[in-house]
């Protein structure tokens, strides 16, 4: 058995509103020929507030890759202890009961990974299995859940800690002025999350079968270009039409379990934007109200990459729908273009 306990999430203190975002776009790019289009797209993301690691004026600067890497490290060391402890408390476990850590992040790079810092500074076992993941982007949260569940089913006396750290603001590039970059600057936020997958015992979401899907020849639709100034995010407008290609695999997973998509009690999907959720509603024939957890996470914190799925899950755990026997789907989408999805039942 693999049971995902309630996730813990944490966000930086610096809040910016939609008005702040639109105002900065107008101030920085007053003569941009497609400014009106960019502003319209930003306003249609559904994002109302976001939390950033630094104040907005500092976020809009680029102090260099080395300085940004140090900011990333400082944030990891500052925020991880509390969010990890909160996740352990939710699972009613201590550090010595954790056998593996899946650490996901696509917005900063260190070697060794922060898992080693957790062993050295937070008291985790030196025999910890380390599973750092850096290249799954927004899909990494759901992938971490399905892979941690497989690990626990293979080793039922083990427990896995999942940690997600995303500092999307450290990837902002002031010189990027195409519409996709302006949209990204108004969509992404920063955040931290942790959750425990228990191999035995515990209460929460029992994670069952999972599947994955990669759409051929879409590798450059969501991607990073690595340059002297760091990661340059690329987002192709064709991404908004990709749900048609991945939903048949999701429907098959549900059907293979003997379920019907129309009878699901919940759906938690990574909300890259509202179009993804609208298309899932249409192609899977599900109740649009199921997306309230994902939409709330997107509206309040923006797209926080791999963290968003845990933000939405935490909201689900706190809702009445998360009663014993409730059945649903957890799904994430990211570069590739790839999808990872799992079925779950609350126990």
User: For 120-161, how does the pLDDT look when each residue is reduced to its tens digit (9 = 90+)?
Assistant: 999 999 999 999 999 999 999 999 999 999 999 999 999 999
8 Å CB contact between 340 and 146: yes
Q: 65 by DSSP, 3-state: which?
A: helix
Nearest by Cα to 162 from 3, 321, 336, 327? 3
Burial class of residue 20 in the structure, from the number of CB atoms within 10 Å of its CB (0-12 exposed, 13-18 middle, 19+ buried): middle
Helix 35-43 / helix 18-28 crossing angle, nearest 10 deg: 170
For the chain, the first-to-last Cα distance in angstroms comes to 11
CATH number of 205-216+237-346: 3.40.190.10, 3.40.47.10, 2.40.110.10, 3.40.50.720? Answer: 3.40.47.10
Known catalytic residue: 138? yes
Rg (CA), the chain: 19
What pLDDT was estimated at residue 236? Answer: 84
Q: Do domains 3-198 and 205-216+237-346 have the same CATH topology?
A: yes
d(CA 282, CA 91): 35
Arithmetic mean of pLDDT, 76-105: 98
253, containing H or E segment:
helix 243-256
8 Å CB contact between 331 and 341: yes
Domain boundaries, the chain: 3-198, 205-216+237-346
Tens-place pLDDT, residues 8-66: 999 999 999 999 999 999 999 999 999 999 999 999 999 999 999 999 999 999 999 99
Tens-place pLDDT, residues 56-69: 999 999 999 999 99
pLDDT of 235 over the 90 cut: no
CATH code assigned to 3-198: 3.40.47.10
Per-residue confidence band for 244, with pLDDT thresholds at 50, 70 and 90: very high
Tens-place pLDDT, residues 167-226: 999 999 999 999 988 998 999 999 999 999 999 999 999 999 999 999 999 999 999 988
Catalytic residue among 5, 138, 165, 171: 138
Nearest by Cα to 305 from 196, 182, 190, 210? 190
């Amino acid at each position: 058995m693999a049971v995902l306990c309630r996730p813990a999430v944490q966000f930086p203190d610096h809040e910016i509103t939609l008005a702040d975002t639109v105002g900065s776009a107008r101030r920085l790019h007053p003569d941009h020929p497609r400014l009106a289009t960019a502003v319209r797209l930003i306003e249609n993301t559904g994002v109302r507030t976001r939390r950033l690691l630094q104040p907005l004026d500092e976020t809009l600067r680029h102090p260099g890759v080395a300085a940004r890497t140090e900011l990333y490290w400082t944030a990891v060391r500052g925020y991880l202890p509390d969010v990890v402890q909160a996740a352990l408390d939710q699972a009613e476990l201590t550090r010595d009961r954790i056998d593996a850590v899946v650490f996901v992040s696509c917005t900063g790079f260190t070697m060794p990974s922060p898992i080693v810092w957790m062993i050295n500074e937070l008291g985790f076992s030196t025999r910890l299995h380390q599973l750092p993941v850096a290249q799954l982007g927004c899909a990494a949260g759901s992938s971490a859940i399905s892979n941690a569940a497989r690990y626990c089913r293979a080793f039922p006396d083990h427990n896995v800690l999942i940690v997600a750290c995303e500092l999307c603001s450290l990837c902002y590039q002031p010189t990027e002025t195409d519409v996709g970059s302006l949209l990204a600057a108004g969509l992404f936020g920063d955040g931290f999350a942790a959750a425990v997958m228990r191999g035995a015992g515990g209460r929460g979401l029992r994670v069952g079968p999972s599947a994955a899907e990669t759409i051929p020849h879409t590798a450059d639709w969501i991607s990073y270009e690595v340059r002297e100034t760091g990661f340059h995010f690329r987002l192709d407008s064709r991404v908004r039409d990709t749900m048609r290609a991945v939903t048949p695999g999701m429907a098959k997973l549900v059907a293979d379990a003997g379920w019907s998509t129309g009878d699901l009690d919940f759906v938690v999907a990574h909300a890259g934007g509202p179009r993804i959720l609208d298309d899932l509603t249409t192609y899977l024939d599900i109740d649009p109200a199921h997306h309230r957890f994902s939409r709330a996470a997107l509206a309040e914190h923006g797209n926080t990459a791999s963290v968003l799925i845990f933000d939405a899950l935490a909201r689900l755990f706190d809702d009445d729908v998360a009663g014993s026997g409730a059945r649903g789907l957890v799904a994430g989408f990211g570069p590739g273009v790839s999808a990872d999805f799992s079925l779950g039942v609350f126990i």
